[in-house]
Amino acid sequence: MVSDHHAPDRDRPTGWDGRAGLRLVDADAPGDPAAWLVNERLTYRQCAACASRIPDLPERHVLTEWTPCRAWATKGRSQYRRSQVPVDQGPHPVDSLACSDCDPRPGTARR
């Protein structure tokens, strides 16, 4: 547990089952500690189509020329400054970054 006030024997209300949290459990086969990734630095880059910031990970690179799955993207975070902007329809070059909303590959859409 992350909290130092953890009491595993304490009864919790039944409505707390769906709340998010972090619980550490023993691993069956922890493996080699030298191979564990801890606090690895992430580099953020822009999606080639909608310019949203996404982590530059190998699974986010599309290995063929591609066009995005959507035509519009939402920009802005606040309630009053949010707007719809058009997405660059491409085609985008090989090995360019695609966010989960623009990625044309099956099984990569945001859930």
pLDDT digit string (tens) for 37-71?
A: 666 678 888 888 888 888 888 888 888 888 887 88
For 43, the token pair is 């580099």
Q: 94 in a domain, yes or no?
A: yes
Phi, psi of 85, deg, nearest 5: -125, 150
Q: 61 in a domain, yes or no?
A: yes
pTM of the complete model beyond 0.85: no
Query: What does the pLDDT read at residue 52?
Result: 82
Does position 19 have pLDDT exceeding 60, yes or no? no
Q: 54 in a domain, yes or no?
A: yes
Does position 7 have pLDDT exceeding 50, yes or no? yes
Q: 22 in a domain, yes or no?
A: no
Spatial contact of 102 and 49, defined as CB atoms under 8 Å apart: yes
Q: 26 in a domain, yes or no?
A: no
* Residue-range definition of the domain harbouring residue 66: 46-111
Q: What total number of domains does the chain contain? A: 1
